[in-house]
Chain A
Amino acid sequence: MSIYAYVVAGWLLVMGSLGIVRSRNLVHAVVCLGIAQSATYVLLLGVGYQRGAKPPVYGSAPAHPSLHVMDPVVQAMTLTDIVVSATVTALLLALAIQIRKRRGTIDPDELTAIEG
């Protein structure tokens, strides 16, 4: 069980990539990219987890603060990561919308403007 969370992260990365490889729809491909990225959330939060520890938020000024809290650094990293993911997803979806308008299709395999 001690590596279960990490294996889930690896699984998400591979399945997200597989989704892009098999994709017939650009929106689907962008969502699959998001799935691949969620691997990083699971991995980072998994790395920061400590059994029995409390959240890294202190109520009142502790005289002798207990260090046994979840790792706040990976949580901050995940927060940054989420913002990056959301904004890049929005950006790629905007591209997909424009491609649909200009080309009339969102099947990546039917886009032939670039070859060779």
Chain B
Amino acid sequence: MPVVDHGVADLAPIAVAAPILGAALLMLLGRRVPRLALDVAALVVAAAEVALVADVFATSTSGRVVTWVAGWTPHKGYSVGIVLVNDPVGAGAALCAASLVFLALLYSAGYIDSVHGHFHCLMLLFLAGMVGMAMTGDLFDMFCFFELMGAAAYGLTGMKVEEESSLQGALNFGIVNSLGAYISLVGIGILFAHTGSLSLPILGRDLAHQRPDALIVAAFVLVLTGFLVRAAMVPFHFWLADAHAVAPAPVCALFSGVMAPLGAYAAFRIYWTVFAPVVPVGDVRRAFLVLGATTAVVGAIMTLGQRHVKRLLAYSTVAQLGLLLLALACLTSQGTAGALLDAAGHAGVKGALFLIAGVLLDLYGTMDEAELFGRAARHRVLGWLFVAGGLALAALPPFGTGLGEAVSAEAAVSLGYTWVPAVFVAVSAATGGAVLRVGARAFFGLGRRPVEEDGAPSSDEEPDVHLRRVPVSMTVPVVALLLAALATGVLPGARSAAERAGAYFVDHAGYVSQALTGAQAHMAVHARANWAALGVGLDVLSALLAVGIAAAACYGPRLPALLALQRRPMRILRAVHSGRVGDYVAWLMVGVAVLAGLVGLPLR
């Protein structure tokens, strides 16, 4: 039995409990102290959480941190307890979540209606859910924290109770994600019946030498479903735009920046620890390359067609999640490293963009691109920050998104999938171009004034608060997030951390043996995650294309014939995104069947 390591291993579960304690404290304080004290208390809790998680992260970069909760260390290779395994990916995701929550709280300080501290309380519980899910190495524990994340998130989405679209968005979000989670739990039940374990390392070890029969495939597909719903994989993605378009801006930043990517994290964490040795690599790779590319393309097309700014950003998140899936689907450490850099960069960029969109909503009371035309001209600094965000979304070097997509594209090419870089370029260009278009119109009044037929009808939205000028506490998080996205691409430390993290993430045997015996294996890092000619070239190409798309939208001649051609497929695609929960559930079932077909049929 390995010796219990007193030290950083103890900090991991405390990092899960700390935000819960903070939330309880804020609930007690809620009605008794002034708003300022609530903001300060919440910020202190979030800052302490950042410090705690950063400590775990720093230790994890030189080896996994394994914690058997309540001291149930394995005896003869089995434990009845729950294990937390912090490798650089898990701890890094938790760090990203904690930092983003801190900045979101800073942005909200004094402005967002707190409802006696309930908003702060939910933000901290949401954080606890994200940290718990990132750290845990137990399947059922993952489900529990996944649901915690969900419950807090549904509430944060529907906080503006006066607003119909906000309530409807929260309900669609809640029903679809809950159903996904229950399908996951069915998968967990099947896997439990077969193996008698819930712990990822024990499951991985016990399944390793089995034949991939129908039970294994079904468990794989069903368990992953709930997490892929959260990761907004087509056709599970419908809820995302509904929820993102209506939640308060700082909450949107969290949803896009960490919550949805955590779904992809969980899905691939489970694949690598449990199913990697038993489900054939080729089938899984093909399935997720197909689904990832579909997600990216659908997201990009829907992004271009939006004129409700937050909804546009939401669909660009869907597109970005598709790219993330493509990178992870390479199933190599290099692809994973690329995905991590991309996800970190995207968290900063999309967070900043959502926060700026929130400022616009609070200043002008609308999210409609046409109504915003030229109105924000006096906020030049915000305008340039928004443009920078658009360029970063288009993968312009040296932003982290650019590095991530360059590394991912190289990983795909080295496997022989030469079409993947084309998807990366096209999708980044489309989403970046759409954001640049909005920036050019709203902040700089460039080009023609958009007219009614240009996009979908946008719903009226009530601002989170009414602003006359932009307070510093709102601009600081925006700048910090963009700088973080830049740092991800520039700092050599980020690159080497991503390389190591990628290597740890895909190391099935090392994960299992270290969790069960405490033996720290030597980790050889082969993946390369650096700027290379091919990647930089692709990134520059997609950034140029994005500028071109934006310019064409602003200045280009109307192309009635082309529009007529586009109109019918576009109308069908838009009709599919109906806002009706019944449709979403029907597509959810289709998604399960398609994933099962892609993974299972080649085995027959």
- The answer to whether B171 and A95 touch across the interface, beta carbons within 8 angstroms, is yes
- Binary interface encoding of chain B residues 188-199 relative to chain A, with 1 for a CB under 8 A from any of its CBs, else 0: 011011000010
- The answer to whether A113 and B182 touch across the interface, beta carbons within 8 angstroms, is no
Whether A109 contacts B582 in the complex (CB less than 8 A), given A33-B175, A80-B144, comes out as yes
- A109 vs B582: C-alpha distance when bound (angstroms): 8
- The answer to whether B183 and A114 touch across the interface, beta carbons within 8 angstroms, is no
The reply to whether the CB of B164 lies closer than 8 angstroms to some CB of chain A is yes
The reply to whether the CB of A60 lies closer than 8 angstroms to some CB of chain B is no
- Binary interface encoding of chain B residues 152-192 relative to chain A, with 1 for a CB under 8 A from any of its CBs, else 0: 00110010011111011111101100110011011001101
- The answer to whether A21 and B585 touch across the interface, beta carbons within 8 angstroms, is yes
Question: Which residue of B162, B165, B174 is within 8 Å of A95 (Cβ)?
Answer: B174
Whether A102 contacts B167 in the complex (CB less than 8 A), given A88-B178, A91-B154, comes out as yes
- The answer to whether A116 and B577 touch across the interface, beta carbons within 8 angstroms, is yes
Min CB gap A39→B, angstroms: 6
- The answer to whether A40 and B582 touch across the interface, beta carbons within 8 angstroms, is no
Min CB gap A36→B, angstroms: 6
- The answer to whether A17 and B179 touch across the interface, beta carbons within 8 angstroms, is yes
User: Which residue of chain A lies nearest to B243 when distances are taken between CB atoms in the complex?
Assistant: A114
- A113 vs B457: C-alpha distance when bound (angstroms): 10
Min CB gap A103→B, angstroms: 5
* Count: A-B pairs, CB below 8 Å: 130
Does more than half of chain A's interface fall in helix, strand or loop, or is it mixed? Answer: helix
User: Which residue of chain A lies nearest to B161 when distances are taken between CB atoms in the complex?
Assistant: A98
- The answer to whether B585 and A43 touch across the interface, beta carbons within 8 angstroms, is no
Q: Which residues of A contact B456 (CB under 8 A)?
A: 115-116
Whether A96 contacts B577 in the complex (CB less than 8 A), given A9-B186, A91-B151, A113-B459, comes out as no
The reply to whether the CB of A22 lies closer than 8 angstroms to some CB of chain B is yes
Whether A95 contacts B167 in the complex (CB less than 8 A), given A109-B580, A109-B582, A113-B459, comes out as yes
- A74 vs B167: C-alpha distance when bound (angstroms): 35
The reply to whether the CB of B53 lies closer than 8 angstroms to some CB of chain A is no
- A93 vs B97: C-alpha distance when bound (angstroms): 29
In the complex, which of the residues A23, A47, A77, A113 has the most CB atoms of chain B within 10 Å of its own CB atom? A113
- Binary interface encoding of chain A residues 84-116 relative to chain B, with 1 for a CB under 8 A from any of its CBs, else 0: 100110011001101100110000110111111
Question: Which residue of A40, A47, A80, A102 is within 8 Å of B193 (Cβ)?
Answer: A47
Whether A29 contacts B581 in the complex (CB less than 8 A), given A91-B151, A95-B158, A114-B245, comes out as yes
Would you list which residues of chain A between 57 and 87 have a CB under 8 Å from chain B?
73-74, 77, 80-81, 84, 87
Question: Which residue of A36, A47, A88 is within 8 Å of B192 (Cβ)?
Answer: A47
- The answer to whether B186 and A91 touch across the interface, beta carbons within 8 angstroms, is no
- A95 vs B243: C-alpha distance when bound (angstroms): 13
User: Which residue of chain A lies nearest to B578 when distances are taken between CB atoms in the complex?
Assistant: A115
Min CB gap A80→B, angstroms: 7
Interface residues of B (CB under 8 A from A): 140, 144, 147, 150-151, 154-155, 158, 161-165, 167-172, 174-175, 178-179, 182-183, 185-186, 189-190, 192-193, 198, 242, 245-246, 305-306, 456-457, 459, 574, 577-582, 585-586, 588-589
A-B contact pairs, 18 of them (CB 8 A): A20-B175, A20-B585, A22-B582, A36-B179, A37-B182, A39-B182, A43-B189, A47-B193, A88-B150, A88-B154, A92-B171, A98-B158, A98-B161, A99-B171, A102-B167, A108-B581, A111-B164, A111-B580
Closest 10 CB pairs of A and B: A114-B579, A113-B165, A116-B456, A47-B193, A116-B574, A43-B189, A40-B185, A95-B171, A21-B582, A20-B585
